[in-house]
Amino acid sequence: MNQNIIKDLGDGLILRHATPADTEALVAFNGRIHAEPEADEPQEFVAAWVQDLMTLPHPTFVPEDFTIVEDTGKGKIVSSLNLINQTWRYAGLEFGVGRPELVGTDPEYRRRGLVREQFKVIHEWSAARGHKMQVITGIPYYYRQFGYEMGLSLGGGRLGYLPHVPKLKEGEAEPYVLRPATEADIPFLVQVYEVACQRSLISCVWDEALWRYELNGRSEKNIHRTNAMLIESAEGEPVGFLLHPPTVWSTNILVTGYELKAGVSWLAVTPSVIRYAVKMGQQYATESKETLEVQAYYFNLGPEHPVYAAFSERMPRLANPYAWYVRIPDVADFLAHISPVLEERLAKSVLVGHSGDLKLGFYRSGVKLTFEQGKLKESSAYQPETGEDGDVLFPYLTFLRVLLGHNDFWEVENFFADCYVRNDAARALVPILFPKQGSNVWGVV
């Protein structure tokens, strides 16, 4: 177990790449570390996820994308995480993303900087792969210490309860039916998904390989296994798709994806979808070894989705989103990459044809944008000479929240006393360049 060493950490600990030979130990480690503290058994669904990543073909991941900290004296894994490659988009412009996941350390080895050492390594990997961003989902606050900001909505949505389920009239046939999607349906899934992504400022690219993996690539107990269902009219015409896990979460049947092709009414299709979801939830509850009861259907589709407008009274409870952690190591480079979007926003605004500099100050660093006749000619980092060296000042990493549309500038300015504008041009420019816009990102795992 001592090959592929990345760094000797001292005290008998080494940081290294995982290899296929580590599969059994890595699966056992993650199953134990990610179990609830009071649990007697390992977290078998997380363990199955690790088993799949290590043994089954994945479109963007290989076993060596895991890091391992090994105690060589005891011959055991004491800390680990991984990096999952993916491609995201900002208003349609693609860029590479690295997603750390499955972060865990044995309790006896915590507070020794083992996760920090591994994050240094995967950030280097991510940079070498050309990624402009890293993202992670995880426990509150923790990943801020590695340069991440909670800058994108994660999940959230609307819930309805059993009395809200639309009922068929007596003798009425179900107007829309759902069946398992097959590989033959993938072109349709891609097409409908691409249209849906236009609603989201930030989205993830799902090509045919990823859809194929979503349909058939995961084992039965993988925590991310999803049932992908094709929605068809009574005449057999495909009109959309539905994604849901094959289990009951708490007392809810969860819907994690629901999209219709252009020209199809959400009002017409959704009653059939709700009835299907509740029926499947009740089936899962009956088949489960645990005592489960379905009380609600949860459309976990992010803060904004067309179905909420179509069926607001059938989904009366609001579920607030959590957030993605986001890291952008080179903000100037990222802004240069999305310059076509910034220029288009300017061209459609009252500042069309604008020329001048905009200094975005972050107190310890900053980015200067230079516009000429509405075109971004330069995006460069600068070192502030004083704390107030900037046209607009953002504390911490709060600019990422504005850049990614999670908050508009006024929200951040009103919440943080040390976020403010120093001139009229900046006051006008920032909301135009960085408007608030929702995102619901389906990341790759």
- Give which of 425, 396, 431, 392 is closest to 411, Cα–Cα: 431
Average pLDDT, the chain: 97
CA distance 280 to 286: 10
Q: What is the pLDDT of residue 39?
A: 82
- Cβ atoms of 41 and 221 within 8 Å: the answer is no
Q: What is the pLDDT of residue 1?
A: 46
Q: Mean pLDDT across the stretch 354-359?
A: 98
Torsion-angle region of 198 (φ positive above 0: left; ψ -120 to 50: alpha; else: beta) = alpha
pLDDT tens digit string along 114-133?
A: 999 999 999 999 999 999 99
Q: What is the pLDDT of residue 292?
A: 80
Q: What is the pLDDT of residue 156?
A: 98
CB-side neighbour CA atoms (13 Å) of 20: 4
- Give which of 267, 317, 42 is closest to 164, Cα–Cα: 317
For the ranges 2-6, 356-360, 362-366, the lowest mean pLDDT is seen at 2-6
Torsion angle of C-alpha atoms 61, 63, 65, 66, degrees rounded to 10: 130
Q: What is the pLDDT of residue 324?
A: 99
Asked whether residue 3 carries a pLDDT value surpassing 70, the answer given is: no
- Give which of 102, 104, 109, 106 is closest to 45, Cα–Cα: 102
Asked whether residue 95 carries a pLDDT value surpassing 90, the answer given is: yes
Q: How far is CA 262 from the centre of its chain?
A: 25
Q: Are strands 131-136 and 322-327 parallel, antiparallel or unpaired?
A: antiparallel
Domains and CATH numbers, the chain: 5-136 (3.40.630.30), 157-321 (3.40.630.30), 330-433 (3.30.1050.10)
Q: What is the pLDDT of residue 169?
A: 93
CA distance 445 to 217: 11
pLDDT tens digit string along 44-54?
A: 999 999 999 99
Q: Mean pLDDT across the stretch 389-405?
A: 98
